[in-house]
Structure 1
């Protein structure tokens, strides 16, 4: 009863206040105190809950319609103009000036002179002319050598090229001269120099002339010709002419690539090693190599063969050879792992020029013949371990007939011939022997190219030889390895290093003559060697830099070939200048 009365009083008071508020222009609220005598106490009976879920029994329920909303864009004119942003300033690196020409000169121990000049000049936007000159010489000074061991190599080349609308062409020619000594006398046979020291000096001379032609859009893609004349001061001479071209042949909507070449070689030596007759050799080969490429996803296959016809002009003999020319590659894991393999073959044209440049101590009494590489099977894996690390692992198996091997010439107790002819008959020169050789090898390569400032490379290969007539694969190593490194230390300083390892080789030499009776033959094992080299340079300005080099740093007294020791530790300093015309 009291509660109802209080509610009634509050309601009346609120109504009076509302009416009063409508009449007054200024509203004021006085503080009032309401006392609740008995608070509200709810009981359980005042609460209830829904005991079941309501259901809709109407089967004719209208489905809800889908509503589609469209926005009608109406362009509105606006005077708002965004403010232009200002790019942040970036410090530009100074552009590196590149020069087309350079000259380098260095001098060092053993009275060594090393010089190079490279020239290239742009006559017009389509024409270039240039040249190259190099010289490397040393006055020798190897310890315990009875004969002069000086040498000299000079090379001169010039070229002219032109780029036209549909093709480009280039002609070039050069001249070279090399001087060496047969200073490698066998140990224990001589206590003083035999004969005249000047007679052990021999000189190679040669010149070459050739050109190249390349088409941008034609059936014939390119072509080249080269003539080379090579000889020595012992009346030996060799001529070689090579012409090559490559072209495409369309066949039933497919394209076959093909190469064709002609290789002629002819030469003579004034006498054989026994001074009984002269040596003449010559042959011409014609070769055709068609190939077809298949590509499917990550697989690439090149199918081809080589057809070679050989005409021996001296022996009047003709032969025809067919070689496989197949290789394939498959990307197993993108650029990370690529498997490849194949089988190829070729008729290798040997020459006096190639032999003399590889081993300058050969005698001018060689018999030159081609090598029949019946097949070369290979399989390997290559790829990238990261963006800066790449690798290549490869296995090879060669089957070669008539392979040329260097072998030490005999030591003749009473040489016959002129003074110039007998100077390579003291066991201080090399000849050639031919044999059928099967070679198995495993090679590995790792290249680290972090950036332009640091590169590092490793190479290594193991060989196993199986000969037919010869007891050993003379002068062929069982292991080879190399390391290369280049470092840009700072903007001015740069450096590099290299090291070579060559395993054991074997050679055989005989002591013959009427004073000896039966020939005395010895098989000699040449020790393996390790040759380390390094260089350091400083860039004075954009054009001038100085350098220092050191070769055979470990001062190894090794023999590259039997009885031919090399120079010990060598030092050289010099400068390089870059310029433009």
Structure 2
């Protein structure tokens, strides 16, 4: 060790003298920048400078061999009594792959002699074609307390679809048929008794047949289009035809894309006789419209600017009108997805139809007055966003003005030979109505196993000619819940609250006639279900409807069934 130190001590002065001499030589000639050729290196007088060898010769008595260097964080042993266990990879449980089936069939039976059945069939034809069919049936014998006539109903339907996909487009053809039966069981009591009810046949039925299709293009001026023809009628000689078609595309104007929708809507129908006269009632309306829309985007701001122009021809009255409506929507992200402000104003010409009215109220009489509604504007605005990844909300307000708005109203009691003239059916009246509403909605989607939705909406109406906004509620609220408890058990519930409504009561068959306003009480409806997956294919379920058991009336004089129970099973399969 001493010899090494000695050599290092001699080497350091030699290096310092060499550096000093080189510096002096460069100071003597600082202007000339030519290349300096070193003829002979400077030779120190003390000792020759040399490169230290990688393995120097040592004079020590103990001279060891070179050790291999191990590049470890700790290259020397550490005294420790700890003995680490042998490492072992953790075992990860693989989730069982869920088997998905293309078809299912469900059958259930319950109180009030209720039968529920449905089946969905889907079959792929090659790689680019598919055929599907849906068959459904729901019926009940009624037996509602304190009802004087039969109160049962049935609803059977069949829908079929064929889809074909090509490289540039995908098209679908569809068709279906539906048959429904109902009863005008809401006789005005105590004005009528069982003796009167026994003389009436309050049953009536509806038939609905339709064909149509749609097409979507991958690349082209026209992006999509659809067409639908529907024939709707009843067993009282009423019939209605409706044809709808539309096409949506994009055109470029001065390097700006403008989305354009073009549509036609034809409605024509007739009723065998009017409510208070034996004359036939005919109606027909043809609409043609164009709705261009231009979208502006800048950072967090999105603006849709558009209008809707509609031409209306009343084919029965030979009258034509032209309407222009705004189609504007604005959205701005204040705080990413947490807080989004939105608003706008839209409008449109609503094509009312016999089919649409029956979908809302199956107790209408077969002699309605059908006319379109002019929704002049619907101004809206509010806030929406996400409180977390699993929770979203919406708070909004609307103010809309509608001319010729359709309102359900209880028909006059005339006591003619027709079974629907005893205060047990509904007609249509029209009025100019402005509506102010505020709504709040909260959706919770914690994971695939739990979803919850809560919504409430308040309405305030102003009518021009009628005494009230007939059968329109002042408050609506609902709660929806679905919960997958574990792999086998699942459950769900939905709750509804509908506020008070106003309806008309009129007896024109007596002298003097009687007319008044009836207030329909608010009602609450609670429904729940629970089910169990026996295996991948077979499941059983049980449902309870109107759990509170309240015999409320959704429409005047038409109480609903009390608490109802239904149980059944579902079977999934493949061909």
- Which TM-score bucket, shorter chain as reference? 0.7 to 0.9
TM-score (norm 1): 0.83
Among candidates 142, 145, 162, match of residue 143 of structure 1? 145
Provide the C-alpha distance between the structure 2 equivalents of 1:191 and 1:235, rounded to a whole number of angstroms: 29
Provide the C-alpha distance between the structure 1 equivalents of 2:89 and 2:321, rounded to a whole number of angstroms: 74
Q: Which runs of structure 2 are paired with 1:263-342 in the superposition (5 Å)?
A: 263-342=265-344
Please state whether the residue corresponding to 2:355 is helix, strand or coil.
Answer: helix
Structure 1 residue 552 and structure 2 residue 554: aligned? no
Equivalent in the alignment of 1:66: none
- Quote how far apart the aligned CAs of 1:186 are: 1.0
| Structure 2: stretches of 5+ with no match in the other structure | 1-26, 28-69, 71-86
Provide the C-alpha distance between the structure 2 equivalents of 1:386 and 1:90, rounded to a whole number of angstroms: 29
Provide the C-alpha distance between the structure 1 equivalents of 2:198 and 2:372, rounded to a whole number of angstroms: 36
Provide the C-alpha distance between the structure 1 equivalents of 2:305 and 2:485, rounded to a whole number of angstroms: 47
Equivalent in the alignment of 2:406: 404
Structure 1 residue 483 and structure 2 residue 479: aligned? yes
Equivalent in the alignment of 2:452: 456
Please state whether the residue corresponding to 1:194 is helix, strand or coil.
Answer: helix
Equivalent in the alignment of 2:9: none
Provide the C-alpha distance between the structure 1 equivalents of 2:91 and 2:113, rounded to a whole number of angstroms: 55
Equivalent in the alignment of 2:84: none
- Quote how far apart the aligned CAs of 1:439 are: 0.2
Q: Which runs of structure 2 are paired with 1:102-121 in the superposition (5 Å)?
A: 102-121=104-123
Q: Which runs of structure 2 are paired with 1:41-190 in the superposition (5 Å)?
A: 89-190=91-192
Q: Would you say the 8 A contact 1:148–1:197 is kept in 2?
A: no
Q: Which runs of structure 2 are paired with 1:484-523 in the superposition (5 Å)?
A: 484-513=480-509, 516-523=510-517
Equivalent in the alignment of 1:432: 428
Equivalent in the alignment of 1:37: none
Label 1:247 to 1:518 Cα distance change in 2 as closer, same or farther (>3 A).
same
CA RMSD of aligned residues (A): 1.5
Equivalent in the alignment of 2:463: 467
- Quote how far apart the aligned CAs of 1:228 are: 0.1
Q: Would you say the 8 A contact 2:373–2:403 is kept in 1?
A: yes
TM-score (norm 2): 0.84
Label 1:193 to 1:385 Cα distance change in 2 as closer, same or farther (>3 A).
farther
Provide the C-alpha distance between the structure 2 equivalents of 1:197 and 1:461, rounded to a whole number of angstroms: 43
Provide the C-alpha distance between the structure 2 equivalents of 1:193 and 1:391, rounded to a whole number of angstroms: 55
Q: C-alpha deviations, 1:477-518, integer Å up to 9, x for none?
A: 0000000001111110000011000000000111112xx212
Please state whether the residue corresponding to 2:388 is helix, strand or coil.
Answer: coil
Provide the C-alpha distance between the structure 2 equivalents of 1:475 and 1:89, rounded to a whole number of angstroms: 63
- Quote how far apart the aligned CAs of 1:87 are: 6.9
Structure 1 residue 573 and structure 2 residue 575: aligned? no
Q: Would you say the 8 A contact 2:480–2:493 is kept in 1?
A: yes
Provide the C-alpha distance between the structure 1 equivalents of 2:328 and 2:95, rounded to a whole number of angstroms: 49
Provide the C-alpha distance between the structure 1 equivalents of 2:511 and 2:144, rounded to a whole number of angstroms: 34
| Structure 1: stretches of 5+ with no match in the other structure | 1-59, 61-79
Which stretches of structure 1, 4 residues or more, deviate above 4 A after TM superposition? 85-89, 195-198
- Quote how far apart the aligned CAs of 1:280 are: 0.3
Structure 1 residue 444 and structure 2 residue 440: aligned? yes
Among candidates 525, 540, 547, match of residue 531 of structure 1? 525
- Quote how far apart the aligned CAs of 1:92 are: 1.1
Q: Would you say the 8 A contact 1:146–1:193 is kept in 2?
A: no
Equivalent in the alignment of 2:223: 221
Equivalent in the alignment of 2:246: 244
- Quote how far apart the aligned CAs of 1:193 are: 4.6
- Quote how far apart the aligned CAs of 1:325 are: 0.1
Q: Would you say the 8 A contact 2:149–2:198 is kept in 1?
A: no
